[in-house]
Structure formats: C-alpha cells, structure tokens
C-alpha cells in the first residue's frame, strides 16, 4: 500500500545517528553532512517506489555533492519479515545502483522513528546547521519515470536551502511503501 509522507516539521534539528554502512564503516550525521546541507533519505531494497527512483536519486546525489551537499540513505525495515531488505542485500542494491553515498542500516529502527519516517523513499533536506528544511519528493515520478521536463524537486529545494537556509514554501510529500516496523 502506498503512503504519503507527513507534513514536515521545518526548522527542527535533525536527529543524530551512528549506524553501520554497507561499506563496513560506522557513520554519524556530522560525518556525512555537507558544508551547505545534507539529504537523509529512508529507503529499502524491495520497494517498487525506491527501485523506480534509485538511479535518478544517484544522479541527484552526485549533482548535490558537487554543490557541497551531503547525502545518505538509511534502511530501517524489519528484515525478519522482509528478507530482501537484509544487510547483505543492501550491499548488493548499493553496488547495483552505484551509490556514491553511504547506505546505512538502522536495525533498531530508532533513527527512522526519531525522524518520523513513514514511507520509502522519505526525503529529509537539512540546512548547513542540521535543521530540517525540506520533506518532499525526489520528483514527480513515482513508479514510472517523471514526464519529460519535470522539475528535479529535491535538487531545487536543496540548492535553495544552500543559498537561503530555507526550503521552498510548497513541498509535495514523497509517496512510497510503508515502513516495515517490527512487530506489526
């Protein structure tokens, strides 16, 4: 079932974390943060919405990195119920899509809960001080590519945040698969 992300709590300090990456390292938010902002996105391997945007997300992450904006993806799904989202499969997914950013595993689901993540993908755009200024979608493509000429909404929002410290007034929520919480 598709879910839409909730309205953002703009200006709220983003929760910190220290999580293992598929590359074998631990990462905290401040190690990933770019000097001009950071994107934190909650994804998983099995979701058709994530699969549909993965390559565009990688392209946008590269664009943002060139602008001094950090990027990280976090998987928080219950892997007992969804084995395709397991850590070894995360590594394969990151390699398949040539992730230029860390892909972290939130086994306890504490980080997803702290951010209020509800779906995959769920994008959070942070300013240079680590405050949430964007919670929207990558672009208007969902399970299909966006139409020709579609805006790169995440890129536009992050460039605005890098320049002004604020995200756009209009933020269209991301839509995707529900988070797979343990015990549900």
Domain map of the chain by residue range? 2-178
Whether 6 and 118 have beta carbons less than 8 Å apart is answered as yes
Q: CA angle 152-132-154, nearest 5°?
A: 5
Instruction: Give me the architecture of the 2-178 domain, per CATH.
Output: 3-Layer(aba) Sandwich (3.40)
Give the pLDDT band (50/70/90) at residue 45: very high
pLDDT tens digit sequence for 157-182: 999 999 999 999 999 999 999 999 99
Task: Give SS3 for 72.
Answer: strand
Pairing of strands 26-28, 18-20: antiparallel
């Amino acid at each position: 079932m598709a879910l839409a992300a909730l309205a953002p709590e703009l200006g709220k300090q983003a929760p910190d974390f220290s999580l293992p990456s598929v590359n074998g390292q631990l990462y905290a938010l401040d190690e990933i943060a770019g000097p001009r902002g950071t994107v934190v996105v909650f994804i998983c391997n099995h979701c058709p919405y994530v699969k549909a945007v993965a390559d565009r997300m990688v392209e946008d992450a590269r664009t943002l990195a060139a602008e001094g904006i950090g990027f990280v993806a976090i998987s928080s799904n219950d892997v007992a119920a969804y084995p395709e989202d397991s850590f070894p499969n995360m590594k394969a997914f990151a390699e398949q899509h040539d992730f230029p950013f860390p892909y972290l595993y939130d086994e306890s689901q504490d980080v997803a809960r702290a951010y209020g993540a509800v779906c995959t993908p769920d994008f959070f755009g942070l300013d240079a001080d680590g405050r949430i200024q964007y919670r929207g979608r990558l672009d208007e493509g969902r399970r299909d590519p966006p139409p020709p000429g579609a805006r790169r909404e995440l890129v536009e929002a992050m460039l605005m945040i890098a320049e002004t410290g604020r995200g756009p007034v209009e933020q269209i929520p991301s839509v995707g698969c529900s988070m797979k919480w343990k015990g549900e």
